[in-house]
Structure 1
Amino acid sequence: MKKYEVMYIIRPEVEETERNNLIEEVNQVFTKNESTVTKVSEWGLRELAYEIDNCTKGYYVLLNVEATPKAVAEFNHIANIKEAIIRHIVVAD
């Protein structure tokens, strides 16, 4: 398995309970696919460098994972579908 850094930004208007459920759902995407989440860093609400989908702020979440290619592909698929996630990126570590 390769190591990856996964960052995604959640819309600022998402309520805390929904946001926590979304973070847990993303973590489960990796754990269900024989991968491990080694670190979860919630950076919190931050100003965006430029406006994205009429948002000037976003809730940043950074994950360090050891993942299979299947887990990364499933994360990308889910991040594209979820409207609460306005941006995401996966970088091989």
Structure 2
Amino acid sequence: MRQYEVMYVLRPDLEEEKVKSNVARYSDVVTNYGGEISKLQEMGKRRLAYEINKFREGYYVLMNFKANSDAVAEAERLMKINDDVIRFMFVRDEK
């Protein structure tokens, strides 16, 4: 298993429970594929550097985890098809 970091930005107009369900969904994907989450940081609503899909703000979430590539591929697939996620980036940590 390798160490990964993902930051994703959710739409700012989501209700709090919808934000929590999205965070739980992606955390569950990692754990269901045998990974372990080392850090989950909900950074809250912040201003975007530039407009994305007519949004000037977004709800930022940072997650560090250890998993295999299947978990990353599945989480990435789910983020691509979810309209609540306006941006995401996975980075493999080389530590």
* Structure 2 stretches lacking a partner, 5+ long: none
Question: Superposition pairs for residues 54-65 of structure 1, below 5 Å?
Answer: 54-65=54-65
Q: Which amino acid aligns with 2:8?
A: Y
1:71 corresponds in structure 2 to 71
TM-score when scaled to structure 2? 0.96
Give the SS at the match of 1:83.
coil
1:91 corresponds in structure 2 to 91
Q: Structure 1: how far apart are the matches of 2:66 and 2:30? A: 9
Deviations 1:33-72 (A, max 9, x none): 0111111011110000000000000000000000110000
1:8 corresponds in structure 2 to 8
Q: Structure 1: how far apart are the matches of 2:33 and 2:45? A: 29
Q: Structure 2: how far apart are the matches of 1:54 and 1:67? A: 34
CA RMSD across the alignment: 0.5
Q: Structure 2: how far apart are the matches of 1:56 and 1:68? A: 34
Give the SS at the match of 1:17.
helix
1:35 corresponds in structure 2 to 35
Q: Structure 2: how far apart are the matches of 1:70 and 1:31? A: 12
Q: Which amino acid aligns with 1:11?
A: R
Question: How much has 1:31 moved relative to structure 2?
Answer: 0.3
TM-score when scaled to structure 1? 0.98
